[in-house]
Structure 1
Amino acid sequence: MLKLKNKCFKIIFENLKEKARPIDRERFNYHFNNAGPEKLLREIKKYQNEDGGFGQALEPDFRLPHSTPMATSIALSYLKNLDNIKPAQALIKRTISYLEKSFNQSRNGWYAVSNEVNNYPHTPWWHYDEEAKMIVIDKNWGNPSAELLAYLYRYKDYNNSIDLNPLIDYAVEQISEKDKYESENEIYCYLKLYEEVDSKTKSKLKAAITEGIDEVIVYEQEKWEEYVPLPLDFVPAPEKESFGVSESKIEANLDFYVELIQQSKNTLVKPPWGDSFYQTDLKEAYQEWQGNWTLKILIALDNYDRIEK
């Protein structure tokens, strides 16, 4: 079992301070340095718009400043860790109001972004197809609708207009009736929903999530340097439901991450999808991803006690 050397961890921290976005620096400080929530909350708030939703390139790959359900789902994943304090609760309340207003009745959920995304720098997978009236991500209902539904369920006291019970049933139906699982990102969203719902709904979701993970997960270690769904993407902490993910492969994935950081030559980890889409007006986004990706790996290692104290 490998552990990240403390010396390497400290160097990475210095690089994060210098090169990562302020929001990722404060997420690091909150997780690793026992920092209070105030600075992190202040950084999250910078991405919130007047309508309560989030934008401002919180998702680095599209620079649309206006609110989108996708960017809002990212913000809520951060705010969830702070929701025991009143200032965060105030932000969440406004965010839930945005989700109510942006809910699409005919979809029974949300579209990830609007066609406005095309007016700003973005990677190809965020391009809005005017003929299809959606982006390619929207072909799978659960991303981000299942995750947003998870937050609506968690913060149901702030919800005034969306009837959650039939939506939960619809979400279960959507994943249970799949013949093929084409999007690991959709499964990640269902994992968020699974964490929030009651035990009866968990039992309905578990088999489908387990089947989906088994279909998309990549266990072949020679492929792990590519952008593929790894064991830790589905079980990022030991207390999480494992859904049948191999424990030995989780341990191997942790070893892989330790080696990846130690081989990154004391800088930040580059995301595995490469920089070919970031050569012009998205160079800033690629730099932002390096801080975000490095932090994701460090948190997973810490969750499994794989960082030398």
Structure 2
Amino acid sequence: MAGQKSVEALGQAKQFMYRQARLLDRRRYEFHFEQGSPEQVIAALRAYQNEDGGFGQALEPDIRCPHSQPVPVEMALRLMDEVSYVDSTIMEGIGRYLRGITRPAGGFPLATLAVNDYPHAPWWYREEDQLPSLNPTGNIIGLLYKLSAQHSFKEEEWFQSSVEYMWRQLDELNPYDYHDIVQAATFLEHAPDSERVQEYRVWLDELIKRPGIIELDPQAEGYVHKVLDWAPAPDHSVAKLVTAEDISRHLDHLLTEQQADGGWPIRWEAVSPACELEWRGSITIDRLLTLRAYGRLGSSASE
């Protein structure tokens, strides 16, 4: 019965993706579930890159600003990593953009003031943009470390100053917010191995295990981050910090969260109906990949 439910979930999700999702996420669906090519994903991604090398154009659906912003750059890096295809032209542009927005003491801002001129979720409003932010600097630098074979940024001053900014953040701050913790985790996961890195990984594991950090109730509502948000695959570093029973309960509930149209919901208020559909397409792929990673889903819609 559970297997039948999984097969039905994938079939319904396929209909949702082709009916409602943006091209980029349809290409992701094709890549992961219909033997699509990574080149097609990257071709769709290119439409979001601007002349300055950065990414905008609502790649992050809550930021409707067409101009380049740091978080969409982070998302572009993650997408190239997801499909294991790093486009050299895209990467060269990212380096050019990041050089230009690196703050004097290293790091990148969360967003620039340009977001205020276009529709955006309220948490993206900026009063100033001169200060660097742990989010998204940690993910950007961590992913650039991971993808280092495809670029030569590591020796550049902006990269090194941003690495030093990250160490200062870890030394000076206790990131308790989900997004901050994830930024720290990505940086530590991919930074060159050292005694310092190992010490902070232990510290971060202990932080994540504190009560209230991981939402253990699969039925919790609102903008919460549950077990599978923290550990979307069994080989994820956080998976070892929760029990197999917790993971199983959350997988069971994740299947029940699929909506009648075949897609999964978002847990926050959307900027617009179009924004909500864009997010739901992206999140639906993420949910399918999590279910498959834990053995709850077949590898193709025909299975």
AA at the equivalent of 1:90? T
Specify whether residues 268 and 84 from structure 1 end up closer, same or farther in structure 2 by C-alpha distance, changes over 3 A only: closer
Of 110, 117, 120, 1:119 maps to: 117
Aligned positions of 1:255-266 closer than 5 A: 255-261=252-258, 264-266=259-261
Aligned positions of 1:226-305 closer than 5 A: 226-242=222-238, 244-261=241-258, 264-275=259-270, 278=271, 282-305=272-295
Structure 1 position 185, deviation (Å): 1.0
Q: Which residue of 2 aligns with 1:188?
A: 182
Q: Which residue of 1 aligns with 2:143?
A: 151
Q: Which residue of 2 aligns with 1:92?
A: 91
d(CA) in 2 for partners of 1:126 and 1:93?
Answer: 27
What root-mean-square deviation, in Å, do the aligned CA atoms of Structure 1 and Structure 2 show? 2.4
Contact 1:147 1:193 in 2 (8 A): yes
Aligned positions of 1:209-228 closer than 5 A: 209-215=204-210, 216-223=213-220, 225-228=221-224
Specify whether residues 246 and 164 from structure 1 end up closer, same or farther in structure 2 by C-alpha distance, changes over 3 A only: farther
Structure 1 position 290, deviation (Å): 1.5
SS in 2 for 1:5: helix
Confirm whether residue 14 of structure 1 aligns to residue 15 of structure 2.
yes
Q: Which one is further off, 251-260 or 208-217?
A: 208-217
AA at the equivalent of 1:22? L
Specify whether residues 176 and 255 from structure 1 end up closer, same or farther in structure 2 by C-alpha distance, changes over 3 A only: farther
AA at the equivalent of 2:45? I
Q: Which residue of 2 aligns with 1:128?
A: 126
Contact 2:219 2:253 in 1 (8 A): no
Contact 1:93 1:158 in 2 (8 A): no
Contact 1:153 1:164 in 2 (8 A): no
SS in 2 for 1:221: coil
Specify whether residues 172 and 233 from structure 1 end up closer, same or farther in structure 2 by C-alpha distance, changes over 3 A only: farther
Q: Which residue of 2 aligns with 1:38?
A: 39
d(CA) in 2 for partners of 1:5 and 1:153?
Answer: 36
AA at the equivalent of 2:275? A
Specify whether residues 11 and 254 from structure 1 end up closer, same or farther in structure 2 by C-alpha distance, changes over 3 A only: same
Specify whether residues 196 and 104 from structure 1 end up closer, same or farther in structure 2 by C-alpha distance, changes over 3 A only: same
AA at the equivalent of 2:181? I
SS in 1 for 2:222: coil
Specify whether residues 203 and 169 from structure 1 end up closer, same or farther in structure 2 by C-alpha distance, changes over 3 A only: farther
Structure 1 position 99, deviation (Å): 1.3
d(CA) in 1 for partners of 2:224 and 2:32?
Answer: 26
Contact 1:110 1:145 in 2 (8 A): yes
AA at the equivalent of 1:251? S
Residues 30-81 of structure 1, C-alpha deviation per residue, up to 9 Å, x if partnerless?
1111211121111000000111110001011111111111111011100123
Specify whether residues 48 and 25 from structure 1 end up closer, same or farther in structure 2 by C-alpha distance, changes over 3 A only: same
Structure 2, gaps ≥5 residues long: none
Structure 1, gaps ≥5 residues long: none
AA at the equivalent of 1:114? T
Contact 1:153 1:197 in 2 (8 A): yes
Scaled by the length of structure 2, the TM-score of the pair is 0.87
Specify whether residues 176 and 250 from structure 1 end up closer, same or farther in structure 2 by C-alpha distance, changes over 3 A only: farther
